[in-house]
Amino acid sequence: MNRPEKAETGTEPKHPSKSAGATALDLPAVPLDAAIQAYFAKCEEKLGFVPNVLAAYAFDLDKLKAFIAMADNLMLAPSGLSKLERELIAVTVSCANHCHYCLIAHGAAVRKYSNDAKLADTIVANYRAADIDARTRAMLDFAWKMTVEPWGIEDADRARLRAAGFKDRDIWDIAAVAGFFNMSNRVANATDMHPNEEYYSMGR
Amino acid sequence: MNRPEKAETGTEPKHPSKSAGATALDLPAVPLDAAIQAYFAKCEEKLGFVPNVLAAYAFDLDKLKAFIAMADNLMLAPSGLSKLERELIAVTVSCANHCHYCLIAHGAAVRKYSNDAKLADTIVANYRAADIDARTRAMLDFAWKMTVEPWGIEDADRARLRAAGFKDRDIWDIAAVAGFFNMSNRVANATDMHPNEEYYSMGR
Amino acid sequence: MNRPEKAETGTEPKHPSKSAGATALDLPAVPLDAAIQAYFAKCEEKLGFVPNVLAAYAFDLDKLKAFIAMADNLMLAPSGLSKLERELIAVTVSCANHCHYCLIAHGAAVRKYSNDAKLADTIVANYRAADIDARTRAMLDFAWKMTVEPWGIEDADRARLRAAGFKDRDIWDIAAVAGFFNMSNRVANATDMHPNEEYYSMGR
Amino acid sequence: MNRPEKAETGTEPKHPSKSAGATALDLPAVPLDAAIQAYFAKCEEKLGFVPNVLAAYAFDLDKLKAFIAMADNLMLAPSGLSKLERELIAVTVSCANHCHYCLIAHGAAVRKYSNDAKLADTIVANYRAADIDARTRAMLDFAWKMTVEPWGIEDADRARLRAAGFKDRDIWDIAAVAGFFNMSNRVANATDMHPNEEYYSMGR
Amino acid sequence: MNRPEKAETGTEPKHPSKSAGATALDLPAVPLDAAIQAYFAKCEEKLGFVPNVLAAYAFDLDKLKAFIAMADNLMLAPSGLSKLERELIAVTVSCANHCHYCLIAHGAAVRKYSNDAKLADTIVANYRAADIDARTRAMLDFAWKMTVEPWGIEDADRARLRAAGFKDRDIWDIAAVAGFFNMSNRVANATDMHPNEEYYSMGR
Amino acid sequence: MNRPEKAETGTEPKHPSKSAGATALDLPAVPLDAAIQAYFAKCEEKLGFVPNVLAAYAFDLDKLKAFIAMADNLMLAPSGLSKLERELIAVTVSCANHCHYCLIAHGAAVRKYSNDAKLADTIVANYRAADIDARTRAMLDFAWKMTVEPWGIEDADRARLRAAGFKDRDIWDIAAVAGFFNMSNRVANATDMHPNEEYYSMGR
């Protein structure tokens, strides 16, 4: 709400400090090194913009790089879960936590991978209403329980995933993605992080 | 509870596969590269053992390295929060989530940094009963709310931190550490991760 | 999920029984009388379709008429609350209750009245992240508390609304709209009511 | 608590403005038309008084009529559920929501239809302790879950109702009545609506 | 619900085994000693019956005596709280816990001490709707919070009681009574304890 | 936190008033009678100190005696539950309620009876992670549900205990111990009761 005013620093070169209102915290962006410049350039090329979550972390390059490494490994590296499945977990967790940033940004990602805005909007609302198969439902039930009652997960919950066809490695990936968004949701909510405007209409 | 049986693979060389019962998932450890071997050697030297959370991740070195990078940055890098303060957040979040692994491992860390087992055990039980100053109390109130009602964090919550003397950069660090343990707690609970035996008595 | 199969009954005449898969219940539509035919024709004209919630009620015209009378009075009759404000309440309540039908249908209504898809999607996610004034925030805080802790509403809550500029008549309307969606959300969830396809993209 | 003082407006003619302290809101009653005068007269004849919920709505005849139409349809129209069963749902929902008005007024209705004050007082306290058959128990379990966790209702919940002997039309009626009291409870709590004195002892 | 069948053992001598269906557990009553016989005789004389909670404990005289000693001290011994105030706490706690036995039995006690069935029924429903003074309201707010969020009680909560006029000794008594019913409610719910028939109408 | 300052009253004779800072309430200890002097002497002999919960009650000998009688009967009298099992229930309930006093004091008791600090610390964190048999798990599941959702206990819950080998008398004892700590936890939290220093290291 009450975001710190940022002096407009001109136009050149393009720099995430332009996104510096990404959170309610006043954290000045640091100069980017070559690796991050390249990474941000790839974001611009592929997405058309640098996601605000990255701009938010850009006050400290070590933190930014650690975040990128973990996020990209979880969401993009080879896995028994498709990229779409991982985004469905992201959105389901973010629904339980009512996280504005992640529902907007990862809702867009579900649209991108599924080409199905109806599916995306349904998962944002309540995954139980979505037209998904039993495997996906079991996966999202697990992610929901991890989010709202993590202390209660027990052997029976893992057994349900195995019965739905998931291998132990897949269970790790479900747990890791669901865990990650329980982190990101909270960092976003705690800092009042706001998604880029582009996300709202992307893939619609 | 029902952990996969592991064939004892002999004794040489020392390898985290010996900790492979660290979770309820059957995930075979991969060969370690030099960087991780060195990291684990440092763990052995400093702690006397490799933490099971690292053994648990050792089925995939990329995931392991991403986890280490983020965890070490959050808990050990320079910050307006002392290392003890960061561990107090870790334990407070883990208390709210009833996370066995993290309460044991980070309870030990609080003992190490504070040299005060009473403080550690009190934070494990309920931080509100601890003999802490108003700044620390405000920090832990924020971490607790982030954990149990993340959607409800608002400007007034951040204002309370600022009034307690925290700068915006500190608020980020509080949020990031509290967020991180909301991830780790859930990965630990979801996989039934068990702490190393050594943690229970360390620093007592 | 498991919806009753409906025999396709041909094409003529146009009838909500074609929407009869609107819920998971097998409730055959009854013949429409002139008043409802006219009402549905107006829906077709204005919206392009008959909302599934009406199709769902069309197994009993008395129930349908009572629902229409109450819904239209609440959402369309003169009030100290604008139509947009009433839709913001609808979506906020539906967010707390994770109601798929109402988030989709009334999210569309927020887009229609505000011409602001970003606002609509933000309220769907978490109204606290929206760029709204203090009056609107107070109104939605009240609606949220009514939804999640109705037993705890007290004089102080009403006083906050009055301090934000609402008259007693407005407070009634806030309470009535928030109450109504606590009903509709539950009927929709209990019957697995699904929104019309058209809602997803309407106003985007 | 702090109810607006009303000037006593004399005695003739009998008018619900005499109940105008029914809520904490200051909403002057409007003149009644013939239909409502007749309806209120019937209340006086049958109950001995006009229920305060009707008096509360009597600041706007359209709202009052819409409420009466829906309430009477739900509670009195032909249904696979007996009138007593519908009142049991009303009280069970009101117990979960701790709604003073509805527990008093519909507790009285349970006494009226069952002639069993013990049953009524038990449902007010906790329906699980009541001496009810398996069908009734299944119905109230569904109403309770709709109230406290509406997002979690799924096919299995509807299947339990069908197994207990309910037809799909009955399931609608259970959902509609439980939904309605989730509305009424909240309007009553939000406005601090107070039941008529007569309800407390009626049917004892 | 499924209560153990008890053989009717005739009529002489009067013995709580006649109440042995007081819970869902099959616990045979033991012979009463003189002290308990005298105590039960006083119950019969004053109340007209032996409360089922005492019959339920009568399988073990030591447990019965310990319960009586604590209950009578809390509810009857000299205190800064009137007997009525203590019963109001009992009912408020039992409302939060939805305890059938205690709402019926202590609802009757509120009627007895207050001679006000309306007050009793209101506290059973939701103490916030009762016509009580600020001191009583503060007392019941504290008892409610102790019941639903005991870990969150802090200095500010005790300060509110002191500001409402309670001395530290009174605060102990509020805490002790509220604590006691959090025990009794749970023993009653866990054993499906049922109140004596007489309680339902007593004092009406 | 803000504890009343106590004047140091010298050294002779030993008296619980020396523990008078046991709670946040200012309640002066009364002179002890012979029975309590003997009881406290036995505490000193066996434990090395008088537990602060007893010191806290020592402002009123009747209350103190009633508490001792009930606590000792529950925790020490013959039962189908071992003393260790009763302490496991105590700690499990105290974990759910985040009760500092009881987690410290009864965590120590679990260490004493089990000679297993790892078991004790695990139950403090989350009993589901402990290496316990199915009978113990069923017992603690029941105690947990009694604590967090007492209104929902039903025949099926008792049936699970019977299936795990518990007799009805054992079920009573489980309920009574779990109930008792729901009382003690709340009295301790409400008064900010602090455990004796000795408990923290006892049995380690």
Q: Which residue has the higher pLDDT, A92 or C1?
A: A92
Measured between CA atoms, the residue of chain D closest to residue C173 is D187
Helices then strands, counting H and E runs in chain F, come out as: 10, 0
pLDDT (tens digit per residue) in B30-60: 999 999 999 999 999 999 999 999 999 999 9
DSSP F202: T
At D4, the pLDDT band (50, 70, 90 cuts) reads very low
CB pairs under 8 A between A and F: 4
Among the partner residues F95, F104, F118, nearest to B121 by beta-carbon distance: F104
Contact B118, B170 (CB under 8 A): no
Mean pLDDT of chain E: 92
Q: Assess whether chains B and D touch, using the rule of 3 or more C-beta pairs within 8 angstroms.
A: no
pLDDT (tens digit per residue) in D178-198: 999 999 999 999 999 999 999
pLDDT at A92: 98
Q: Which residue has the higher pLDDT, C15 or A137?
A: A137
Quick count: other Cβ atoms within 10 Å of Cβ F200?
A: 20
DSSP B24: S
Quick count: other Cβ atoms within 10 Å of Cβ E95?
A: 27
Tell me the average pLDDT across F163-178: 98
Q: Which parts of chain C have pLDDT scores under 70?
A: 1-21
Q: Is the confidence at residue B6, as pLDDT, over 80?
A: no
Measured between CA atoms, the residue of chain A closest to residue F145 is A152
CA–CA gap between residue E52 and residue F136 (Å, rounded) = 30
pLDDT at B56: 96
DSSP state letters, C110-133: HHHHH--HHHHHHHHH-GGGS---
Q: Which residue has the higher pLDDT, E121 or E16?
A: E121
Chain-centroid distance of CA C67 in Å reads: 11
Q: Is the confidence at residue D21, as pLDDT, over 90?
A: no
Q: Is the confidence at residue E2, as pLDDT, over 60?
A: no
Using DSSP's 3-state secondary structure scheme, residue D73 falls into helix
| Chain C residues with beta carbon closer than 8 angstroms to that of D150 | 97-99, 185-186, 189-190
Whether the ω angle into residue E16 lies within 30 degrees of 0, i.e. cis, is no
Q: Is the confidence at residue D98, as pLDDT, over 50?
A: yes
Write out the residues of chain B at the interface with chain C, using a CB-CB cutoff of 8 A: 151-152, 154
Using DSSP's 3-state secondary structure scheme, residue E204 falls into coil
At B126, the pLDDT band (50, 70, 90 cuts) reads very high
Q: Is the confidence at residue D150, as pLDDT, over 70?
A: yes
- Distance of residue A100 Cα from the nearest chain D Cα, in angstroms: 19
| Chain F residues with beta carbon closer than 8 angstroms to that of B192 | 129
List the chains bordering chain F where 3 or more Cβ pairs fall under 8 Å.
A, B, D, E
Is the pTM value of this prediction over 0.90? yes
CB pairs under 8 A between D and F: 4
| Chain D residues with beta carbon closer than 8 angstroms to that of A130 | none
pLDDT at B21: 67
Mean pLDDT of chain B: 92
pLDDT (tens digit per residue) in A34-47: 999 999 999 999 99
Q: Can you say whether residue C22 is alpha, beta or left, with left for phi > 0 and alpha for psi between -120 and 50 degrees?
A: alpha
| Chain D residues with beta carbon closer than 8 angstroms to that of E131 | 1
Among the partner residues F95, F117, F192, nearest to B129 by beta-carbon distance: F192
pLDDT (tens digit per residue) in B152-166: 999 999 999 999 999
| Chain A residues with beta carbon closer than 8 angstroms to that of F126 | 151
Q: Is the confidence at residue D38, as pLDDT, over 50?
A: yes
Tell me the average pLDDT across A10-33: 69
pLDDT at A196: 96
pLDDT (tens digit per residue) in E51-75: 999 999 999 999 999 999 999 999 9
Kind plus residue range of the DSSP H or E element containing F85: helix F83-96
Interface touch F98/B126, C-beta < 8 Å: yes
| Chain D residues with beta carbon closer than 8 angstroms to that of C183 | 179-180, 182-183
- Could you report how far apart the first and last alpha carbons of chain C are, in Å? 27
Contact F113, B91 (CB under 8 A): no
| Chain D residues with beta carbon closer than 8 angstroms to that of C150 | 97-99, 185-186, 189-190
CA–CA gap between residue A109 and residue A184 (Å, rounded) = 15
pLDDT (tens digit per residue) in B95-122: 999 999 999 999 999 999 999 999 999 9
| Chain A residues with beta carbon closer than 8 angstroms to that of C125 | 94, 98-100, 103-104, 124
pLDDT at B5: 41
Q: Assess whether chains B and A touch, using the rule of 3 or more C-beta pairs within 8 angstroms.
A: yes
Nearest Cα neighbor of B154 from E155, C137, E153, A103 is C137
CA–CA gap between residue F70 and residue E34 (Å, rounded) = 20
Whether the ω angle into residue E13 lies within 30 degrees of 0, i.e. cis, is yes
Q: Is the confidence at residue A3, as pLDDT, over 60?
A: no
List the chains bordering chain E where 3 or more Cβ pairs fall under 8 Å.
B, C, D, F
pLDDT at D197: 96
| Proportion of chain E above pLDDT 90, given as a percent | 90
Interface touch E186/F187, C-beta < 8 Å: no
Interface touch F126/A151, C-beta < 8 Å: yes
CA–CA gap between residue F194 and residue C48 (Å, rounded) = 67
Tell me the average pLDDT across D138-153: 98
Interface touch E99/F150, C-beta < 8 Å: yes
At B17, the pLDDT band (50, 70, 90 cuts) reads very low
pLDDT (tens digit per residue) in D55-88: 999 999 999 999 999 999 999 999 999 999 999 9
pLDDT (tens digit per residue) in E158-178: 999 999 999 999 999 999 999
Q: Which residue has the higher pLDDT, A19 or B33?
A: B33
Query: E136 to each of D29, D61, E87, E148, F186, how far by Cα in Å?
Result: 33, 38, 12, 18, 20
pLDDT at C8: 39
At E21, the pLDDT band (50, 70, 90 cuts) reads low
Q: Which two tokens stand for residue B137?
A: 């109390």
Q: Can you say whether residue D192 is alpha, beta or left, with left for phi > 0 and alpha for psi between -120 and 50 degrees?
A: left
Interface touch B99/F200, C-beta < 8 Å: no
This model of the complex carries an ipTM of: 0.91
At A76, the pLDDT band (50, 70, 90 cuts) reads very high
pLDDT (tens digit per residue) in F56-105: 999 999 999 999 999 999 999 999 999 999 999 999 999 999 999 999 99
Interface touch D124/E103, C-beta < 8 Å: yes
Residue with tokens 């982190």: A183
Measured between CA atoms, the residue of chain A closest to residue D154 is A128
Measured between CA atoms, the residue of chain D closest to residue A137 is D154
Mean pLDDT of chain A: 92
| H-assigned helices in B47-167 | 52-57, 61-76, 83-96, 100-114, 117-125, 134-148, 155-163
Across A5-9, C17-21, C197-201, F45-49, least confident range: A5-9
pLDDT at D20: 52
- Distance of residue F48 Cα from the nearest chain B Cα, in angstroms: 18
Q: Which two tokens stand for residue F71?
A: 């606590």
Q: Assess whether chains B and F touch, using the rule of 3 or more C-beta pairs within 8 angstroms.
A: yes
List the chains bordering chain C where 3 or more Cβ pairs fall under 8 Å.
A, B, D, E
| Chain E residues with beta carbon closer than 8 angstroms to that of B130 | none
CA–CA gap between residue E201 and residue E104 (Å, rounded) = 9
At F10, the pLDDT band (50, 70, 90 cuts) reads very low
DSSP state letters, F42-84: HHHHHTSS--HHHHHHTT-HHHHHHHHHHHHHHHHS--SS-HH
Tell me the average pLDDT across D139-155: 98
C137 contact partners, CB below 8 Å, separation of at least 6:
C127, C128
pLDDT at F4: 41
Q: Is the dihedral of CA D127, D131, D136, D138 positive or negative?
A: positive
pLDDT at C161: 98
Among the partner residues A99, A131, A204, nearest to C126 by beta-carbon distance: A99
Interface touch C154/E126, C-beta < 8 Å: no
Contact A195, A100 (CB under 8 A): yes
